[in-house]
Amino acid sequence: MRGASVCLPLILLCANELAAMQARDHRLGAWDAVLSAGAVGIYAAPHLFSINDHPPSCAPCDRQAVPWLDRWAIAEPRDAVDVASTALVLLLAAAETVDLARSGPAHYAEIGYVAESAGWALGAAEMIKAAVARKRPVLYTAGALDAQGDLDAQRSWPSGHAAVAAALVTGYWLAPRERPAPAWRRWVVLGGAATVGMLRVAAGRHFPTDVVGGAALGVVSAVTVRVIRF
């Protein structure tokens, strides 16, 4: 709910700009190169500068230290569900790309916009994860001893998958069209993004608040990139 309360006003503030964009002929330009390079840079920064690159402070950790809202989601990783969530994000990206490409060459830059939004969501999530260093659910289970050597075990908040999925769906919803896409397509991609978040929790990779934080980050990334780009 907190994420929605922050993101919704941003979308509403952009309403006039989005309406004015309907008649514009968008093309790839210098801003696309700058935004793409920035997304890569912010993603790489935590690894280049070894931010919070140290073993976890506990393994296993005390479950009571986890807020009650998240405690029920503590579980060991489920690899098959983890792979399914990644596959669904890729499927969303592919489906949106194909649909936007069908709008014609004048709208190809919208594909770039959606990709840049997802890139910034992923990069920002990676940076914030490193800075926050929240422990993943596995570190509160019997599998903590095996996971403690994995740096990613301290990269839980926010969810990168949820951030990318939310950026993809937000970009798709905001993309101007000469002929609006059928409403069912927008709801399908929204449902897909929500499913990604649920799968991340079911996979034992994230807490619910990780997913909410990631979704909010994805929406903010998509709106911000659109304001800068257009």
How is the chain split into domains, by residue range?
2-13+27-51+74-229
Per-residue pLDDT of 110-146, as tens digits, reads 888 899 999 999 999 999 999 999 999 999 999 999 9
Fold of the domain spanning 2-13+27-51+74-229: Vanadium-containing Chloroperoxidase; domain 1 (1.20.144)
SS3 48: helix
Cβ-based neighbours of 195, under 8 Å, separated by 6 or more: 88
In a 13 Å sphere around the CA of 112, the CA atoms on its Cβ side amount to 19
d(CA 119, CA 102): 22
SS3 32: helix
d(CA 68, CA 74): 11
Whether the pTM exceeds 0.95: the reply is: no
Per-residue pLDDT of 140-176, as tens digits, reads 999 999 998 888 999 999 999 999 999 999 999 987 7
